[in-house]
Amino acid sequence: MAGAARPVVVKVGTTTLCGPGGRPQPARLAAVAAGLAALCRAGRPVVLVTSGAIATGAAEIGRPAAGASMAERQAFAAVGQPLLMREYGRHFAAHGLRTAQVLLTADDLAVRRRYINARNTMAALLRRRIVPIVNENDTVATEEIRIGDNDTLSAQVAILVGAELLIILSDVDGLYTTDPHRDRTARRIPEVHMIAPEVERLARRSLSRLGTGGMQTKIAAARAATAAGCTVVITDGRRPRVLERIAAGERLGTWFLPAARAVSGRKRWLVAGGRVRGRLFIDEGAARALREGGRSLLPSGVRAVEGAFGAGDLVAVVDPDGREVGRGIAAHDRRTLELMKGHRTSEVAHLAAGRAEVIHRDNLVLSS
Ligand code: GLU
């Protein structure tokens, strides 16, 4: 989306949107539409990622969503999604904005051709100042191909549209030193430069109580989006005029700053597609070489291989301390890598079919 201002993606969770009975609250919908309209007036293309289809459908049918089977939840989503869209449509129209429904599954983002197609559709909508309202296509997404939570989906959408900012509206005002719902001494962390292991530990402790995601999935989402050059804000969605205040430059919640070496183009898709099929455990020397940048992973640095993956699947690369070094496309399947691991490239050339590396540097994205 070169030339134009980069989009802002706003994610709204079920707990932010729906009342105790599960129905979306008109006042909340109105506030979300008003906030996005303000961003639009500030010249930003905007995308909304919304949850609430399942809760809305369950409330409509008069059944509890909690404890329902997968098939029932899918049926609730089928009932709730159009009702949710109708309500959004009404509230956005009050600001002179048209909306469009975009329902995605994991495969839409994992298969490159479909990813590019989805990107083109989003670009066409944004060019016409139509607000894409995105949710997971819960009705058809089976267990294996589900993204599963809209925090992850929002990061994938942010990467897809090349967003400058992803605002995750939650029931907590960002990342805290301890759980703010239980501990009054909990302090908010205003800014995070790098999602180091300490940050992940904090996220495990300060869980958002409701909703699908919790703080851990929000941090994982922030990690993916910041790696692709997007700033991520996690803040309390129930605060009055929250989006307007952010649009005016206020630093509410926790801000996760984009990685200095943000990935671009095809590599962004690697981060967005995000379905890791296996793990490669590498030695210290290989980890150091990869972290220096610009290197491919060679068989000699691989200690162990895990998972049932084929050539072309996404795998995670893990150092001896258990930290993820990066993710990339495996050039070989698991069986071949079991034979190649630990050997010099020249020793295993007969197995490699001309592809000496385990992951080529063009297919590798380092973790921030
Ligand atoms: N897609 C689900 C829904 O609309 C929500 C998933 C989530 O809460 O993260 O109900």
Tell me the average pLDDT across 34-61. Answer: 95
Residue 2's pLDDT band, with cuts at 50, 70 and 90, is: very low
Residue 320 lies in a domain: yes
| Statement: residue 209 has pLDDT above 60 | no
The structure tokens listed for 64 are: 């509890």
For residue 255, how far is its CA from the centre of ligand 1 (angstroms)? 23
The answer on 211 and 79 residing in a single domain is: yes
Report the C-alpha gap between 284 and 334 in whole angstroms: 21
Percent of the chain with pLDDT over 90: 54
The answer on 171 and 125 residing in a single domain is: yes
Q: Whose CA is nearest to atom 2 of ligand 1?
A: 51
Residue ranges with strand state E in 18-64: 46-50
Q: Which residues line ligand 1 (CB under 6 A)?
A: 13-14, 51-55, 77, 135-136, 138, 149-150, 211-213
The residue segments making up the domain with residue 288 are 276-366
User: Closest ligand 1 atom to the C-alpha of 84?
Assistant: 4
57 HSE (CA, 13 A, CB side): 22
For residue 136, how far is its CA from the centre of ligand 1 (angstroms)? 7
Residue 1's pLDDT band, with cuts at 50, 70 and 90, is: very low
Residue 42 lies in a domain: yes
Model confidence over 56-110: pLDDT tens digits? 999 999 998 888 998 999 999 999 999 999 999 999 999 999 999 999 988 888 7
Instruction: Check residue 316 and report its DSSP letter.
Output: E
Identify the domain boundary among 214, 237, 266: 266
CA distance between the termini of the chain: 24
| Statement: residue 3 has pLDDT above 60 | no
| Statement: residue 211 has pLDDT above 60 | no
Q: Where does residue 355 rank: exposed (0-12), middle (13-18), buried (19+ CB within 10 A)?
A: middle
Nearest CA-CA partner of 44 in 53, 35, 52: 35
For residue 108, how far is its CA from the centre of ligand 1 (angstroms)? 17
User: Closest ligand 1 atom to the C-alpha of 13?
Assistant: 8
Residue 271 lies in a domain: no
User: Closest ligand 1 atom to the C-alpha of 50?
Assistant: 4
The answer on 22 and 94 residing in a single domain is: yes
319 HSE (CA, 13 A, CB side): 15
The structure tokens listed for 85 are: 């869209």
The answer on 85 and 173 residing in a single domain is: yes
**Residue that has been written with the tokens 């469009």 in this structure:** 100
Tell me the average pLDDT across 24-45. Answer: 94
| Statement: residue 322 has pLDDT above 70 | yes
> What confidence score (pLDDT) does residue 273 get?
63
**Ligand 1 pocket, mutate which of 149, 154, 169, 217 (most atoms under 8 A from CB):** 149
Per-position DSSP letters for 205-274, written without gaps between them: HS--SSSS-HHHHHHHHHHHHHHTT-EEEEEETTSTTHHHHHHTT---SEEEPPPTT---HHHHHHHHH-
User: Closest ligand 1 atom to the C-alpha of 136?
Assistant: 1
Identify the domain boundary among 234, 266, 298: 266
- Return the SS3 of 186: coil
For residue 321, how far is its CA from the centre of ligand 1 (angstroms)? 34
| Statement: residue 130 has pLDDT above 90 | yes
Overall domain count for the chain: 2
> What confidence score (pLDDT) does residue 144 get?
65
The answer on 250 and 215 residing in a single domain is: yes
CATH number at residue 355: 2.30.130.10
- Residue 120: Cβ within 10 Å count: 10
The answer on 209 and 298 residing in a single domain is: no
CATH number at residue 186: 3.40.1160.10
- Strand-strand pairing, 231-236 and 254-256: antiparallel
The answer on 109 and 136 residing in a single domain is: yes
Residue ranges with strand state E in 93-176: 99-104, 131-136, 165-170
Residue 2 lies in a domain: no
The answer on 196 and 114 residing in a single domain is: yes
Residue 3 lies in a domain: no
Report the C-alpha gap between 268 and 271 in whole angstroms: 5
Model confidence over 240-299: pLDDT tens digits? 999 999 988 899 999 999 877 666 666 777 766 667 889 999 999 999 999 988 899 999
The answer on 53 and 13 residing in a single domain is: yes
Of 91-95, 195-199, 215-219, 333-337, which one has max mean pLDDT?
Answer: 91-95
- Return the SS3 of 184: coil
> What confidence score (pLDDT) does residue 17 get?
93
| Statement: residue 128 has pLDDT above 60 | yes
Report the C-alpha gap between 353 and 341 in whole angstroms: 15
For residue 212, how far is its CA from the centre of ligand 1 (angstroms)? 7
Of 27-31, 209-213, 244-248, which one has max mean pLDDT?
Answer: 27-31
Q: Whose CA is nearest to atom 8 of ligand 1?
A: 212
Angular region, 104: left φ>0, alpha ψ -120 to 50, beta rest: beta
Report the C-alpha gap between 73 and 145 in whole angstroms: 15
The answer on 348 and 214 residing in a single domain is: no
Residue 67 lies in a domain: yes
The answer on 196 and 286 residing in a single domain is: no
Instruction: Check residue 5 and report its DSSP letter.
Output: P
The answer on 181 and 326 residing in a single domain is: no
pTM for this predicted structure: 0.79
For residue 51, how far is its CA from the centre of ligand 1 (angstroms)? 4
Is residue 60 within 8 A of residue 125, CB to CB? The reply is no
> What confidence score (pLDDT) does residue 210 get?
38
The structure tokens listed for 296 are: 């491919």
| Lowest mean per-residue pLDDT among 16-20, 135-139, 197-201, 289-293 | 197-201
For residue 77, how far is its CA from the centre of ligand 1 (angstroms)? 9
Residue 1 lies in a domain: no
> What confidence score (pLDDT) does residue 310 get?
86
Q: Which residue has the higher pLDDT, 226 or 203?
A: 226
Report the C-alpha gap between 214 and 204 in whole angstroms: 9
Report the C-alpha gap between 196 and 368 in whole angstroms: 8
Identify the domain boundary among 214, 236, 266: 266
The structure tokens listed for 50 are: 């919304």
Residue 186 lies in a domain: yes
